[in-house]
Amino acid sequence: MAVKRVRWVVLGTALAGAGVAGALAQATVAPGPNKLEFPQGWERGVLYATVDRPDTKQYREFYTSAEAVKAARDGKPIPDGTVITLAAYAAKVDAEGKPVKDANGRFVKDKLLAVNSMQKMKGWGDDIPAALRNGDWIYQSFSPDGAPNDKANLTACYQCHLPFAKDDYLTNLAKLAGTFPSQAVARPAGGAAEVAIAGFAFGPGTLKVNAGEKVTWVNADDTPHQISIVGGPQRSELMLKGQSATLQFDAAGNIAYICGLHPTMKGTIEVAAKP
Ligand code: HEC
């Protein structure tokens, strides 16, 4: 099976040109109670995905309504009123602090750390600064007892989900729609210099190439990743499992990049001048 390649997008140039980049940096959403109330009974919703996070040693569960799942599967907009909840648990760790795995190689859940929700309701986006607005979605982070976490960085929720406007601001619409290719096999693309993405890490973390060479990233994780050049406008589109992205580096220098979805994942491409 051929490796499916994703495209690159250039974010932020239109915004910068219009002078909105500064506004984006300044616009904030204050923490504390808002219109999104604690989603009582969230654990009785449809559990549509789980994810192991080696980078943060967490195990996460995703819940929503049957109506939202049906809409996503039918390719329809997520209905007004939908709440999507992410329950973040600490992963159980061994004596050395390494996450324990079950018979299927998955993390085992320990203590519930936070209940993070997003809810869509007509008009709710009107209260959000334009530079951060995610349509009519708003966000809240609750502690397990149901109180809004007044130290949560709600601004970051909007910033991180904003690039996914075309997926109704969901970072993982494919999982909700049941189209995420979990069975895909990540194969080396061959030829170009390559970075494997596995276990929420880039391998190798630092790759040396010569100016003019191309680098290909291949995602082997059961979750989307995205290459985002630090300080630069370039981002790959989401790479689902088995998908790859390629970028050519023409100028010498050290290029730092992160995963746009999981900023704890960091890598560097060292580009040497043409010999
Ligand atoms: C650093 C980027 C980032 C920030 C900041 C962030 N998220 Fe997310 N969010 C993600 C990613 C990536 C996923 C997909 C699942 C995963 O890997 O954990 C996700 C998934 C979700 C989902 C499930 C729906 C979906 O597919 O997008 C909800 C609900 C959610 N986040 C709520 C929040 C809330 C509430 C906040 C702020 C308190 C927040 N997020 C902040 C990156 C982020």
Q: Is 115 in the pocket of ligand 1 (CB under 6 A)?
A: no
pLDDT at 213 over 90: yes
d(CA 24, CA 248) in angstroms, rounded, equals: 29
236-251: per-residue pLDDT in tens? 988 999 999 999 999 9
d(CA 17, CA 15) in angstroms, rounded, equals: 5
The structure's pTM equals 0.86
CA of 263, closest atom in ligand 1: 1
5 versus 217: the higher-pLDDT residue is 217
35-79: per-residue pLDDT in tens? 999 999 999 999 999 999 999 999 999 999 999 999 999 999 999
CA of 169, closest atom in ligand 1: 27
169-191: per-residue pLDDT in tens? 999 899 999 998 888 888 876 66
Q: How do 266-272 and 206-210 pair as beta strands?
A: parallel
Q: Is 141 in the pocket of ligand 1 (CB under 6 A)?
A: yes
| Cα 107 off chain centre by | 19
Map out the domains of the chain with their CATH numbers. 7-19+182-272 (2.60.40.420), 28-177 (3.50.70.20)
pLDDT at 24 over 80: no
* pLDDT reported for residue 20: 43
Q: Please tell me the residue having the least CA distance from ligand 1 atom 13.
A: 171
3-state secondary structure string across the chain:
CCCCECCEEECCHHHHHCCHHHHHHHCCCCCCCCCCCCCCCHHHCEEEEEEEECCCCEEEEEEECHHHHHHHHCCCCCCCCCEEEEEEEEECECCCCCECECCCCCECEEEEEEEEEEEECCCHHHHCCCCCCECCEEEEEECCCCCECCCCCHHHHHHHHHHHHHHCCCCCHHHHHCCCCCCCCCCCCCCCEEEEEECCEEECCEEEEECCEEEEEEECCCCCECEEECCCCEEECCECCCCEEEEEECCCEEEEEEECCCCCCEEEEEEECCC
105-122: per-residue pLDDT in tens? 999 999 999 999 999 999
Distance in Å, CA 157 to ligand 1 centroid = 7
Which range, of 25-29, 95-99, 228-232, averages the lowest pLDDT?
A: 25-29
